[in-house]
Amino acid sequence: MRTILMIALLILSTNCLATVYRWVDENGKVHYSDEPKANAEVIEINEETQNSIAIKTPPKATIAPKEDTQISYKISIVSPQEEATIRDNNGEFTVNVSVSPQLPRGVKMILLVDGVAALEPQTSPIFKLTGIYRGEHNLVVNVVTQNGKVLASSSPRKIFLHQASVFSPANKARQ
């Protein structure tokens, strides 16, 4: 069966090498065909007119490894200001961040409060925190890839969160 198929393919492939004819009609238009016409001339097909592709591989000595061009991100905390005192009894405040250049897809920012991630990584430069306890806190924002690699970090920002105490003298006078 395979032998018959191979013979049939060889016979069909010889028909592909047909003669090409060229002629000019009464309007001056040039035509090409594989069928002879009146006043048609045979065109010789040279090897240079056939399409061929040659794959060349450069020598291994000239192949240089691609340099990893890593983008340098600049990230900074815009607000709250350094050593700012935030007064909120619920421990809620917003951290605004500036980053340049714009983050590509898959790269996010994560806010660390006292070295611990306060929220999930996000692309928004606005972090809304809740439930932060009173006292001194250090804020840092990192630019991270999906696999957790840190690309850039902001300078640490020290803030103070003030909450009114239930034990304050003003509250004792009301009782």
- Tell me, what's the pLDDT at 156? 92
Domain boundaries, the chain: 19-45, 74-162
- Tell me, what's the pLDDT at 58? 67
Ranges of residues in the chain whose predicted pLDDT is under 50: 174
What gap in Å lies between CA 118 and CA 112, rounded to an integer? 6
Please tell me the pTM assigned to this model. 0.54
- Tell me, what's the pLDDT at 21? 84
- Tell me, what's the pLDDT at 6? 78
- Tell me, what's the pLDDT at 168? 58
- Tell me, what's the pLDDT at 136? 93
139, 77 Cβ separation under 8 angstroms: yes
Say which CATH superfamily domain 74-162 falls into: Immunoglobulins (2.60.40.10)
